[in-house]
Chains A and B, each alone.
Chain A
Amino acid sequence: MSELLAVLYGGGVLRVDPARPDWPERDRFILSKGHGCAGLYAALAESGFFPLPELDTFYLNGTRLAGHATTTVPGVELSTGSLGHGLPVGTGMALAAKRCPPSFRVFVLLSDGECDEGSVWEAALFAPQHQLDNLVVIIDYNKIQSLGTVKEVMDLDPFADKWRSFRWAVREIDGHDAGAIADALHAVPFEPGRPSCLIAHTVKGKGVSFMEDKLLWHYRAPLGEDRASAMRELGVVEGDLLQEDEE
C-alpha cells in the first residue's frame, strides 16, 4: 500500500496543495481502509501537510495521529476505520463535483477484506449509473483479511470481473511496481463515462522477509530486534531519517 500512497502523493497524481488543504478544486483522497493510516500520515507529512517529527507521536496519548485515519490531521479528507464507508462518501463527493463546480477527482483506496461489506457494492452500483468517471477506486489486494486468507474467508474471485460486471473500467497491476502504478493512475479515467477500478496485487508486509504474507503482522507492531532487522531489510538507516527531518 505504501507504494500506492507514494505514487499518489509523491508521483504527481493527486492535485493537492499542502499549503491549502481546503483548496476547493483539490483532488480528494479517501483511505477507506482507515487502519492503514500510518502510511497515509507518512505520505502527508512527506508532502508537507504537517511536520515530519509529528509522526513519532502516532498512537500516543494526546496525539492527533489516531490509529485510524481522522480528519483532525491536515490533508485527511474523511475519518475512516469502520470498513465500507469510504466508497459511498467518495461517490457523493464525485457526484457533487460532476453536477456543479468546483470540479475535481476522487480517489478511494479500499482493502480486499473491505469488499465483503455490502455498502461497497451499493456504491459500486451507483457510480456507473451516474457516469462518475471522476471517481477512482484502488484496491490493495493483498489476499489476506482479519482471520485468514481472502480465499478461505470470503473468496472475491473473479474479482476484476465482478467490478467489470458492475460496469467499471478495470485494470490490474503489480501494486509494488511504482512505474506501473504511475502509468495506471495517470491514465484515469480508463474509459470516459465510467468510474475506474485499479486492482493492485500486493503482498502484505512486502520487503520484510519475516512479515511477508503473514497474518500475524496485521496485528503486531515490530519492536526491538524485529524492528531493527525490518529496518535493515528495508535499507533504512535510522540516523538518516532524523537528518531528513532536520533538513
Chain B
Amino acid sequence: MRSAFIEELTRLAREDRNIVLVVGDLGFGVVQKFADEFPMQFVNAGVAEQNMTGLAAGMALNGRTVLTYSIANFPVIRCLEQIRNDVCYHDANVKIVAVGGGMAYGSLGMTHHATEDLAIMRAMPNMVVLAPNDPVEARLATRAAIEHRGPVYLRLGKQGEKTVHASDPEFAIGKAIRMRDGGDATLLATGGLLLNAMNAAEILDAKGIHAAVISVPCVKPLDPSITQSLNLFTIEEHSIIGGLGGAVAELLAEAGAPRVFKRIALPDQFSSKTGDQEYLRREFGLDAAGIARTVERALSSR
C-alpha cells in the first residue's frame, strides 16, 4: 500500500504544485524520489510530530494541500491536539497519512501497533477516515483524499499486501464496495482485512454458509447502506472499541438491530504477544480461519 500511495501522490504532485508532503523523518526508501523530484513540495520536519502537524496546518491555511506522513501512532496520537485544534477546527486541508496501520509493524511491539487510530480519528469533527484494504484501494484513497477539501486521515498498511481488486472499483468517500453476494451473513472489512474476509467467505461456502463481503475503505462518513443485512460482522485490525465495529454499532442502535451482530476485532488490551502481522492476526482470530470460525459460531448460536 505504501508504494501505491507514493506512486499516486507523485502523479498528483506533478499535476498540482500546491501539494506538499511533510514527513516526520521517516519513510526511508519511500519518500526520497519524491523529495528529489519536488524539493519545493517536500519538507522533512524532523522527529517532531507536533511541529510537523502544526506547520502542515499553517501551510494549508495558506492554500497548500499538505500531507503529513509517518508511521503508526506518531502522526496521529503523538500530535493529537494539533490535529484537533490546528487541523480539524480550522478545517485545514491536511491529510494525515499513517503507514503501518493495525499491527503491520507487529514484531516491533506495542508502541508501533496502531490499534486505536480509527476510533480516535473518527471522533474528530471535520475528519474523513479512510482505511483502504489493498493497494488498489490505497491508490484510489490517495486520490480521493487529495481531491477532498478538508482534513483526511489515511491509514495505510505497509508493504507487500496482496491485491484483492482485479480492476478499479468505484471509489468514493462515504461509499462501501460490494465484493460478493451471499444471503446468510455479511462481512464488512476495513484496513487491510478484506483478503482475509474474502478467504473466510470461501471457507464458509464450503460449510454451506454463504456470506456477502463488503469492503469498507471509508470508515467516516460511513456508508449507511452497509447495515441492511440480517447477520452482520465487522472485521478490523483495531481495538474492539470505537473502530468500524463501533461505528456500525452506532448506526445499528438507531436503525434497528439485525438478528446477529458481531465485532471481530482486537480485544481492549495491549498485545501481550510479539510476532509478525500474520502471526498476530492468527493469534487474535483475524486470519481467514479465525474469522470463519467466529462467524459460524455466532450464526449457529442463534
Contacts and interface: CB of A to CB of B under 8 A. Distances in A.
Interface of A: 71, 77-82, 84-85, 87-97, 99-100, 118-119, 122-123, 125-126, 129
A71 B82 contact: no
Contacts of A78: 61, 86, 90
Given A85-B86, A88-B86, A92-B59, A125 B48 contact: yes
A71 B86 contact: no
Given A88-B58, A92-B57, A96-B59, A122 B48 contact: yes
A96 B85 contact: no
Interface stretch (B38-46, B147-155, B234-242): B38-46
B300 to A, nearest CB: 51
A interface majority secondary structure: helix
Nearest to A34: B85
A119 B55 contact: no
Contacts of A79: 85, 89-90
Contacts of B53: 88
B206 to A, nearest CB: 55
A126 B45 contact: yes
Contacts of B51: 88, 91, 119, 122-123, 125-126
Interface in B54-89: 54-64, 66, 81-82, 85-86, 89
Nearest first, the 5 A-B pairs at minimum CB distance are A92-B58, A88-B54, A92-B55, A122-B51, A122-B48
A96 B48 contact: no
Contact of A89 (B40, B45, B54, B64): B54
Secondary structure at the B interface, as helix, strand, loop or mixed, is helix
Interface residues of B, number: 26
Contacts of A80: 85
B52 to A, nearest CB: 8
Contacts of B43: 95
B46 A91 contact: no
A119 B50 contact: yes
B58 A119 contact: no
A125 B43 CA distance: 14
30 contacts: A71-B90, A77-B61, A78-B61, A78-B86, A78-B90, A79-B85, A79-B89, A79-B90, A85-B81, A85-B86, A88-B53, A88-B58, A89-B54, A89-B57, A89-B86, A90-B58, A92-B55, A92-B57, A92-B58, A92-B59, A92-B66, A93-B58, A93-B59, A93-B62, A118-B50, A119-B50, A122-B48, A123-B54, A125-B48, A129-B46
Contacts of B57: 88-89, 92
A74 to B, nearest CB: 15
B50 A89 contact: no
Contacts of A90: 58
Most buried by A among B43, B50, B81, B89: B50
Contact of A85 (B46, B62, B85): B85
A158 to B, nearest CB: 23
A122 B85 contact: no
B7 to A, nearest CB: 24
A93 B46 CA distance: 18
Contact of A126 (B40, B48, B66, B82): B48
A97 B55 contact: no
Given A88-B86, A92-B62, A96-B62, 4 more contacts: A89-B57, A90-B58, A92-B58, A97-B62
